[in-house]
Structures are given as structure tokens and as C-alpha cells.
Amino acid sequence: MTLTELQLALPEILVLSAACVILLADLFISDQRRGLTHMLAVITLVFAAILSLRLMMPPGEVVYAFSDTFVRDRFGDILKVFSYLTLAAVFVYAKHYLRVFGLFKGEFYTLSLFALLGVMVLISASNMITLYLGLELLGLSTYALVALNRDSRLGSEAAMKYFILGSLASGLLLYGMSLLYGATGSLQLAEISASLTGGAGDSMLLTFGLVFVVIGVAFKLGAVPFHMWVPDVYHGAPLAITLFISSVPKLAGLALAIRLLDNGLGGLHGDWQGMLVVLAVLSLLLGNFAAIAQTNIKRMLAYSTISHMGFMLLGILAGTPEGYAAAMFYAIAYALMSAGAFAVIIMVSGPDREADQIDDFKGLARRNPWHAFLMMMVLFSLAGIPVFLGFFAKWQVIAAVIAAGFTWLAVLAVLTAVIGAFYYLRVVKVMYFDEPEIERPVTAPVDFRAVLTANGVAMLALGLFSGGLISLCLSAFVVS
Amino acid sequence: MFEWPLLSLLIWVPILAAALIAAIGGGSPKLVRPLALIAAIVSFLLALVLYAGFDSGSTAKQFEEQVVWIAAFSVYYHLGIDGLSLPLILLTTPISLLIIVASWHIKDRPHLYMASFLLLQGLMVGVFSSLDALLFYVFFEAMLVPMFLIIGIWGGPNRIYATVKLFLFTFFGSVFMLIALLWLYLQSGSFQILDFHQLPIALHAQILIFLAFLVAFGVKLPMWPIHTWLPDAHVEAPTGGSVVLAAIMLKIGGYGLVRFALPITPDAAAALDWLVIGLSLVAIAYIGFVALAQSDMKKLIAYSSIAHMGFVTLGLFLAFAITRNTDNIVGAGLGVTGAMVQMISHAFVSGAMFLIIGMLYDRVHSRDMASYGGVANTMPWLGMFAVLFFMANAGLPGTSGFVGEFMVIMAAFHANFWFAFVAASSLLLGAAYSLWLVRRVFYGEVANNAVAGLKDLSPREWFLMITLAVFVLAIGIWPYPLIEMMEVSVGHLVEHIMVSKLP
């Protein structure tokens, strides 16, 4: 372990030390001054972002460290920066919620930062052990976060469900990894890839391993038929935690899929492509149809997540650099859209209960025109209407899918998008066309509103000027 | 030639004005209407400058602007117009101006209302002037958002059903177009519409692409049998919404066929022209009868719009049959020109009819013909204008309604006698339902106290009616400037679609 290797992992080291410092410091911070913990956490993210941006790898350059278990490349660096950004927004949104609901504890920040560390390790993994380590760090922190409100029966039940199903998925993934190790004799993703192109290995064993790995990835992404935990966890977890689960871990899910399926098992592209087609089609259909039937907005967005993950899988299954870039754009766009949507739900929530029913949004356009407008942009973006960000995500994925020769899949995907538009429109309808039932003003602290405004306007701005983000995502995979 | 980016101004002045109005409108409602009016007038003047600078003798795209938008996919912000798009842009700005004047009395959130219409206006000009397919698609789809709000917020009792139906129908149609455009991009490596025009495509692919375009633009137009959203949308929409829908948004369907379906997939269009002609004739004859059966005035005009749009599709697709039969390329151009004139004329006529219904509705709060009778006794001036516009709708010579229909029927004779026979039935049916409405609503004895208490046109309403009447009569009596504007472009288009693009 040399100093240069440590330098490569500087952002991880920073987040780890900060998480430990916050864990300790929080013990000495009284409840009234808890805002200090929040500040420390946000400052950590800011510094991590500065570090990652300064150390950003140029396109095409890959550096390994720590006996080749840790990789730094442009793909990982970009994803990390967006992870900090999203988490910072999540922190600001969550602070308001946690205060209102009396859950403002330091644990939220330490657990979230450890989850972030898990995401970062996962993103930078070049070895299956590192990958698993990151995944578990993320998973265990998230299970605990779901149970943050320990008096909530719904929350405890969701945490239990999440823990059991998550552990099962980890087990399957680990089993798949062990089979792959048996077939190729290595845990290094690069070596596995090399031995696959060399034609080595027992194809039966490889296929078995691949199936388990794909199932593990599908579980983590929440793709049908491994989606059962998603609606219950989204519904049961406190809003601030749902907000977290629906944003940052999606970036990790993308990294998991790309690292394993492309970096490691790229040679088996023909085998996993078919599996992903099935997962994507089922997710698109079930996610969109089931979302129509929901009256609870958290559950509706949970099913919508399932369909969006299906869309993201379409980009991955294309198996081309453009497809991966499209999937990456999709994941980033989704994290931003989802954070915005949950933020508005937090804002509408009262001190007595979460505004988790679609009817709670009745007449929002009269109660708070500006934030209803932001929510409308987020919803149209989720529905994939131009000129919002979500359209450009869908458009690139569809282009990649058609280029890979799956025109029928593209047709199916856009048709499910039309179905999806229906339930997003329903929320717009409730906000704009219905009269408010309660007059209580919808307010939030200034920092909350500022971040939400930036987040909502980004839907439009990143859509109008999508060229930059598209080039950025492409630069992670294509050396021009 | 002007050095200003005129097309960009025409798109962005109303959109930025819309943003400004929406932003300040909540705080200072007094400023909303004057600001909207100023924005609309400025756009109208800009459109006149555009007209003055346009060279109708050239087939090249004019007023071109090209900036890279998404470099990785070679998408450009590429604008430019020819003789097919100019008339529609010239149409959009005065109609928007009239809508803003007509909606002066809106009480509920006027700033959002005005902003929605200005936004819509900018987007529609964007649709007509895009030369990049993705840019076109973005404008085309983005139009749904303000339209969704206009019907949903200010519409009638059943507005939610109507607006969701409109949104989903259009969205459903256009996603196929998105796939077709992406396929074309992957084949040609460019999103430029003009590159698509030159791209050789095999017949089976052409047919699929053609069908995708047909669904996308057929929903918008609307063509029978994918028209069912239109009567609902028209009935529930506020007057301004109905006017913009009938006057401009339907034309986007026709424009799309002219700009995409015909020149990109001419062989498929030639192979499937029987389908479109058949659907058009059904729309003209069958929907004419449906219109006859309506008691709701707005529904009647909505069905009449579908029948009139049948003339547009008929005129556009006659070209292939004509050249097959007679090798007469002038006759082919006649159909396309007729279709374009029909689009412009229908915009003024249907807009005027919806405004008249709106004026009656504002006073009596009913759209049912049975609630009226003898309106001409208490509102003689409105009665006069109503007769003029409904006669124009029936295709009376001397009004704009006659010119387009006559040209299309002439072209139909070149193609097939029976096409012309069925198409001409619209003159009968159109007269029947138009005059029937006029008789039941305007003529006869004063039917009830509500009608007896009616007050005739206010100065604002006078302005609306006079303006539209001038357009309708001017095009009817002297259509030459309009036809001259598009003659060269139509000829260019017809020549282009007669050349096979099979590889």
C-alpha cells in the first residue's frame, strides 16, 4: 500500500473519516444544536465533491490500486460526484422532514454517510469481494435507516422485509460469484473477463453463476419478478428514507450492473442480454400497470421506480458504449427526478401525518403555485414528455435499443411509457384541476425551498441543454 | 433580407413573455392582459416582417438558423421555412392574437391562461419551422403540456376525461413517430429532415415508417377512426382552447404529413394511398352524417372539422393516383395546394364558428341548440356574421371555404370520378348541417326569455368577427397571394415524391 494508492482513494477516506467524526461528535451535540451535525454532513459532501472533481480521471484512463481490488475510472468518478450531489439534496430535504416528525437524530447522518461509502466502494470495485463489501455496507446501513422510526410498526415491518429479502439477494449474488470463481479461478473482474475471452471455463458452471449474479442484480435494482420488496419498503419507510432509497442507491445499482455484467462478464453478453430482456419487459409492464391502481403516492412512485429500472436495464442490455451511457444518463436523471418528487411530498406533509395519499395533493396549485409547478415539471419529466430531462433519458435508451436491433423492444418500451403517462397526469390533475380541501399553507425552510427550486428547474434546464450531460455520460464509455 | 434571427424571435418572444406573465401575474394581475396583448402583437408584427422578407420563388429553405444542440447525436437547433410552413406561421400569430382578445374576460387565474396560450403559440411556430427532426418532435410533444392545462383548468364539467384523452391519444400516436425518427437517424447518422428526404429506404421499412407517421399525424389531424378525442376535447375546452385546437393544432397533423410522411416515404405513400384516400372519404361522408345528428353546437363543429380535414388528407394523397392515371403533374399539385388552402381556410372559419358559439355560451351558458332560437332577432349583427361563417363552412363560393374544397374536388376528378363524387357529397352535407344549425339557432321566433334578453356584439367581439370575416372573404375572392406563396414549394414537393426512393 503506497501513498499514491491512498491518494486514489482520497474521497473514500474522507467520507469514512467524516462519518466516524460525525458519529462521535454527535454524542456531544445537544438536540437543539443538531443542525450542526447536518452542517458537518453537508460539508463532508461538498469536500468529497471537490476532491472527486479535482481528481477526475480523463476519458479512457483506468488506474487500479490495492492489489487491483479498487479501480478509478471516469465512469466511477462521474457517478460518485452525482451521488454526493443527490445525497446533499437528500440531506436538505430530509432535515425538514426529520424535524417535523421528531426524528432529527445524528444516526440518520452517520448511517447515510456509511451508505454513501458503500456506494463509493461499490462504484470503484474491480474485484468481486470489494463489490460485495460495498453492496453490504450500503445494504446494512439502509436496513437500519428504514427502521429509523422505531415506534412505527409499518417502518419496522418494512425494515424486516427489506433485510430478509436483501439478505437473500446477497446470498444469491454471493453464490453466483462463488460459481464464477470456480469456473474462472479468479475474483478479479478484469481477469474473469480475460479468461472468458480466452474461452476458458466450464460453460455450464459459468451460466449457472451468471444466472445467480443476474438475479442478485435484479433484486438490488428491484426489477420484476424480484421487485416484491420495493412497494412495501417505499411505503413503510419514513418519507426521508424513501427519498434516500429511491435516489442514491439507484446509481449504485447501475454501477453494480455495469461492473459485473460488462467489466466482468462482458464475454457472456449474449447470455445475459436475453435475461435482461425478460427482466426489463416484465418490469416495464408490471411497474406501469400496477402504478395505475395505487392511491398511495409512495406506492405509486415505488411501482414507477420498477418501471424506470426496467427502462434503465434496456440501455444496459444493448451492451454498447452508447447503451451504457444512456443507462447512466437514465440513472442520474432518475435520481434527480425522484428526489424532487419525494421532496414535494415531504413539503406537503403536515406535522400529524405524511401526505402519502394522492388526494393530499388536491389543489396544490392554489395552495402553493410555485412548488406545484416544480412538481408538475418533475412529473412530466418522469413521464418522458419533452423538453424535460426524463425525455432525453428515454430517448437515448430507445436509440441504443434500436441500434442493438431490438426495435420491438423499443416499441414496447414507448407504449408502456404512454401507460405510465396516465398516472403521472393523474397527480398533475389533482394538483391543478381539483380544489384544495385544506387551506393550511405549504411551507418549508429557505434552504429546502432553494434546493427544491434548483432541483425542479434542473428538469427543464438539463432538458433544454442536455448536450453537456449526454457528452459527459458518453465520455465515461467512449474515448473520442 | 433581415439579419435578425426572426424565426427564433417568433418562437421565443411568446415563450419568454409567457414565463414573465406566469411569474409576475399572481402579484400584479392588472399587468397580465396588456402584457399578453403586447407579446401577441409583437409576434404578429414579426410574422409580417417574415412575410415581407420571404422569397416565394425559391425552393430553398429561408431564414435558416443552425446551432449545435446535442453534439453527441448531431442534433441541431435548425430552423428554416419554405412555402409550406410560411402560411401556417402567418396563420398562427393572428389567431393567437385573436384568442388573447377573445379571452379578455377570463376570471380564473388569467395569468396562467394567457401564459399557456403564449407558450402554445411559441411551440407551434417551433413545430412549423423546425428542420431538425428531434427539435420538431420536442416542440410537437411539448405542445401537449399547455393544451392539457388549458382544457383541464378552464374547461367544462367533463374536462378531465377530455384532456386526459387528448393527451394520451396524441402521446400514443407520437411515440411511434419517435421510433421512426430514431430508426431514420441510425440509418442516416443525422437528424436533419432534409437528409431524411434524400435517404433511400427499402419498401418494407418505408411502409412501417409511413404507418408510424400516419398514426402520429392522423391522431392530430384527426383522421377517422382515430378522431374520437376531438369531439370530447372541443366540447370541454374553453373557447380559446377550441379555437387554437381547430385553427392551428389540427393543421400540425396535415403539415406533418407534408413535411415527413410524403417526402420521406413516397413509395410507401404511393403503395398505401388507397388506405388514406379511403379513410378520407369515410371522414368526409360518414362524419358529415354524424355532424348532422348533433344537438350540441360545439360537437357539430368538431365533427365538421373532422370532415374538412378529410379533404386535406384526400388532397395530399390524390397526387399518386393522378400521376398513375394521367401523368399530369399539375393535377397532382392541385390536390396538395387545395389541401393547404383548405387548412388555412378551415382555421379562420372554424375559429370564427367557435368564437360565435363561445359568445352565445358566455351569455346563455348552454351549447345545446334546443336552448336557442331566433337569436338573429336580438343579435342581428352576430346573426349576420354567423351566416357568413357557416356558409363559408359549407363551401359557399366567394368565401375561403370554397377555394380549397373546389381545388381538391377538381384534383379528385383527375384521379377517379367516384372519389370526386363522394368528396362532393360534402358540399351537400356541409350545407345541410351548417344551415340547419343557423336555422335552429339564429332564425325563427325568439325561443325563450334568455334569448330575448341577449345583447348584441361588444366592440371587442366586433373586432374579432370583422378580422376573421376579412380573412375569409379575402381568401375566398382573391386566393392568389396565398397560392403564390406556396406554389413553388408544392411543385418541388410533388416532383420529389414522384421519384422513387427505393435503394
Cβ of A385 under 8 Å from any chain B Cβ? Answer: yes
What's the DSSP call for residue A188? B
- Exposure string over A448-472, b if 16+ CB within 10 A, otherwise e: bbebbeebbebbbebbeebbebbbb
- Predicted local confidence at residue A182, as pLDDT: 87
- Predicted local confidence at residue A356, as pLDDT: 85
| SS3 of chain A: helix, strand, coil, percent, to 5 | 80, 0, 20
Q: Rounded distance, CA A117 to CA A134, Å?
A: 7
Task: Tell me the one-letter amino acid at B8.
Answer: S
Contact A470/B73, CB-based, under 8 Å? yes
Q: Rounded distance, CA B355 to CA B361, Å?
A: 10
Task: Tell me the one-letter amino acid at A314.
Answer: L
- Predicted local confidence at residue A480, as pLDDT: 62
DSSP character string of A259-323:
IIIIIITGGGHHHHHHHHHHHHHHHHHHHHHHHHT--BHHHHHHHHHHHHHHHHHHHHHH-SHHH
Helix ranges (H only) for B26-109 are 32-53, 86-102
Predicted confidence pLDDT, tens digits, chain B (503 residues): 446 788 888 899 999 988 888 888 777 778 888 888 898 999 999 888 888 888 877 878 888 888 888 888 888 988 888 888 888 998 899 899 888 888 888 888 888 888 899 999 999 999 999 999 999 999 999 998 999 989 888 887 888 888 888 898 889 988 999 999 999 998 888 888 888 888 888 888 889 999 999 999 999 888 888 888 888 888 888 888 889 988 898 899 999 999 998 888 888 888 888 898 889 888 888 888 888 888 888 888 889 888 888 888 988 888 888 877 776 667 778 888 888 888 999 989 998 999 998 888 888 888 888 888 888 888 888 888 888 898 888 888 888 888 888 888 888 888 888 888 888 888 888 888 888 888 888 887 887 887 777 888 888 888 888 888 898 888 888 888 888 888 888 888 888 888 887 87
Of B142, B145, B175, the CB nearest to A414: B175
Which residues of chain B does A329 touch, with a Cβ-Cβ cutoff of 8 Å?
none
Mutate to test the interface with B, among A284, A292, A329, A395 (most CBs of B within 10 A): A395
- Predicted local confidence at residue B327, as pLDDT: 67
B59 contacts: CB under 8 Å, gap ≥ 6: B82, B488, B489, B492
- Predicted local confidence at residue A198, as pLDDT: 73
- Which residues partner with B76 through β-bridges? B68
Q: Specify the 3-state DSSP secondary structure of B76.
A: strand
Q: ω before A387 within 30° of 0 (cis)?
A: yes
Contact A414/B178, CB-based, under 8 Å? yes
A51 within 8 A of A14, measured Cβ to Cβ:
yes
C-alpha cell at A455: 432541483
H or E, element range at A394? helix A389-403
pTM, to two decimals: 0.91
- Predicted local confidence at residue B451, as pLDDT: 76
Helices B32-53 & B6-25, crossing angle to 10 degrees?
Answer: 180
| SS3 of chain B: helix, strand, coil, percent, to 5 | 80, 5, 20
Which residue of chain B is at minimal alpha-carbon distance from A373? B22
- Predicted local confidence at residue B316, as pLDDT: 87
- Predicted local confidence at residue B1, as pLDDT: 46
Interface confidence (ipTM) of the complex: 0.89
Instruction: Give the max Cα distance, chain B.
Output: 70
Which residues of chain B does A415 touch, with a Cβ-Cβ cutoff of 8 Å?
172, 175
CB atoms within 10 A of CB B459: 6
Q: Rounded distance, CA A1 to CA B451, Å?
A: 93
Only one residue has cell 411501482, namely A303
Of B148, B153, B175, the CB nearest to A417: B175
B209 within 8 A of B183, measured Cβ to Cβ:
yes
Task: Tell me the mean pLDDT per 10 residues along chain A, length 480.
Answer: 83 93 90 88 93 88 88 91 93 90 88 94 92 93 90 89 92 92 87 80 82 91 89 91 92 92 85 91 92 91 93 91 92 93 89 84 85 91 90 92 90 91 90 84 86 91 88 84
Contact A380/B145, CB-based, under 8 Å? yes
Which residues of chain A does B137 touch, with a Cβ-Cβ cutoff of 8 Å?
386
Q: Rounded distance, CA B302 to CA B437, Å?
A: 13
Q: Rounded distance, CA A164 to CA A60, Å?
A: 39
B207 contacts: CB under 8 Å, gap ≥ 6: B265, B268, B271, B272
- Predicted local confidence at residue A279, as pLDDT: 93
C-alpha cell at B62: 429561408
- Predicted local confidence at residue A231, as pLDDT: 92
- List the 240-269 stretch of A: residues with Cβ below 8 A of B: none
Of B72, B137, B153, the CB nearest to A386: B137
Which residues of chain B does A314 touch, with a Cβ-Cβ cutoff of 8 Å?
none
CA distance B198 to chain A (A): 21
- Predicted local confidence at residue A201, as pLDDT: 61
- Predicted local confidence at residue A200, as pLDDT: 60
Helices B6-25 & B110-129, crossing angle to 10 degrees?
Answer: 160
What's the DSSP call for residue B109? S
Counting Cβ atoms within 10 Å, is residue B175 exposed (0-12), middle (13-18) or buried (19+)? buried
A147-203 pLDDT per residue, tens? 888 888 888 999 999 999 999 999 999 999 999 898 888 888 888 888 887 766 667
In angstroms and rounded to an integer, the radius of gyration of the C-alpha atoms of chain A is 21
C-alpha cell at B158: 367533463
A64-106 pLDDT per residue, tens? 888 888 999 999 999 999 999 999 999 999 999 988 888 888 8
